[in-house]
Structures are given as structure tokens and as C-alpha cells.
Amino acid sequence: MEASSTSNTKLRIISALGMLVIVAVSVSLGRGTALALIGLVGLLVVDEFIVNFLEFTRRHIGYVIAQASFIVGYVYFNWFEVGSIFFESFNNAGVVLDALMLLFLFVSKHDSRLLKKNLKGMSFMIGVLFLIPFMNLSALAHFDSWRLLFMGIVVLNFSVDTGAWFFGKNFGKKKLWPSVSPKKTVEGFVGGVITSVVLSGVFWAITFNHVSFQLLMSFLIIACCAQLGDLIQSKMKRQFNIKDSSNLIPGHGGMYDRVDSLLFVAPLFLFVIRNLR
């Protein structure tokens, strides 16, 4: 068992490094390549959700419409009709979508079949639903300092996972929400949030020579929401009775498993950039 666990940890590290290299190369090649990578990730997430969550084939009309709507919307608003008014609209829609997902997390019953039934009935809308958070993420690429902003959201979001893993493994005793995510602990949650706020504050101070109390409080809220994003997907997977969104990434599961919290915090991060930076 111990050998298997060690092997899986090594596999996760290798896969994570591989993904990091892909992201770094795409960002270094320029804005267009970075936008293309985000769009590709979006297509994979839509694919995983319809095929593995909703259990539809790739020939299903809902799948075809969902992928087509995502591609058309993503390409149109990132290359042909680029404007602040559209990004503002997507940002507002993303914040509203986050609020609805929080309602799902805290209000919906664990064994409810309502979400699955409704999403199966509107599978053709999945592309539009995922377009909203992905447009919030791609909007960062249209700022002058877009590379630094991408680094900022990566530090803010993924340091939560790293901090939560470290503090949860070494100090975790009290379970956070066992019925939703059995492995998460209160100590991991708090440690992840603190780690994220500290590292994000340092990153912001070094790169932008500015960090305010309001900005740190925003990082605190976003770090908490990053963990809530993980819990939302965990609850969703329980209702759909699946373990991972796919087996695409060795040791990590699917693409949606890797970017769930990132998609959840993207609208909040963009809102902060637009208003507090």
C-alpha cells in the first residue's frame, strides 16, 4: 500500500510538472498561444462534463451544440469582438453563476437528482455555461500586464491547494465537511487560505509595488472561495456518482478536476483586478 501511494505521488508530481511546462511555454509564446491553450482546456472540460457527468456520447446533438457554442463564443469574443463591455458582462455573469453554485453547495441535498435531471435536459447549454468562467479567465490576457496577472491568479489559486495539503497532512484532525469531501480538514482549509494570502501579497508587492488592505482582504475571500470551488465539484461528482471527471491526466484525474477552483475564482479575481488594482 505504501509503495503504491509513493508511486502515485511521483506520478502526480511528474504530471503537475508537465502541465506547468505546457502553461509556461504557451504564455512565453505570446497572448494568442495562451488564449488558444485556455480555449483548448475549455473544450476538454465541456467534453468531460457531457460525456462523463451527463453520460452522453460525442454524437449526441447536445454535445455537438455545446462544443460549437463554446468554440464560436470563445473565438468571437477573444479575437473578433474584443471590448471591455463584453468582458464586463461576462464578469457580472460569472459572479452571478458563482453565487448560484454556492447555493447548490449549501442548499442542495446530497442525494438530490434535480441537478442531473435539469442539466441532462439542457445539455446544449453546457457550452455557454462553461464559456462564462473561461471568458473571465481569458479576459486577463487582454490586459497590458497579462503575464503577471496570469502568474498572480495561479499563485493565488494553486497555493491554496499546496497549503491545504501540507497543513492537512501534518496537522489535520478535524474534518471540514465529511459528507462532501471526506479528506478535507479544517486545519488544511485555514492553512491553505493563509498560505495563499501571504504568497499572493508578497507576489503583488514585488511585481506591482503595491499591496493594500483591501487587496489582501480580497485575496482572503478568493482563497476561501477556491476551496469552496473544490467542494462544489466534489458534491457535484457525488450526485453524479463519479470519482474523477476523466482519467486524462495521470495521477490527477480529468482536466475539470484540475481547474474547478480556478474557474470558480476567475470571475472574483477579474472583478478585483477591474476595481481594486
pLDDT at 8 over 80: no
DSSP code for 125? G
**Whether the predicted pLDDT of 277 surpasses 70:** no
pLDDT digits (tens, 9 = 90+) for 233-257: 999 998 888 988 888 877 678 899 9
Q: Give 175's strand partners.
A: 185
Residue 182 C-alpha cell reads as 471526506
Domains of the chain by residue range? 2-275
pLDDT confidence of residue 2: 47
Residue 181 has pLDDT above 90, yes or no: no
- Model confidence over 24-48: pLDDT tens digits? 899 899 999 999 999 999 999 999 9
Per the listing, cell 481594486 goes with 276
Beta bridge partners of 253: 249
Cell of 164: 491545504
How does pLDDT run across 43-82, given as a tens digit for each residue? 999 999 999 999 999 999 999 999 999 999 999 999 988 8
* pLDDT reported for residue 147: 95
pLDDT, position 20: 81
Average pLDDT score over the chain? 90
109 burial via Cβ count (<10 Å: 0-12, 13-18, 19+): exposed
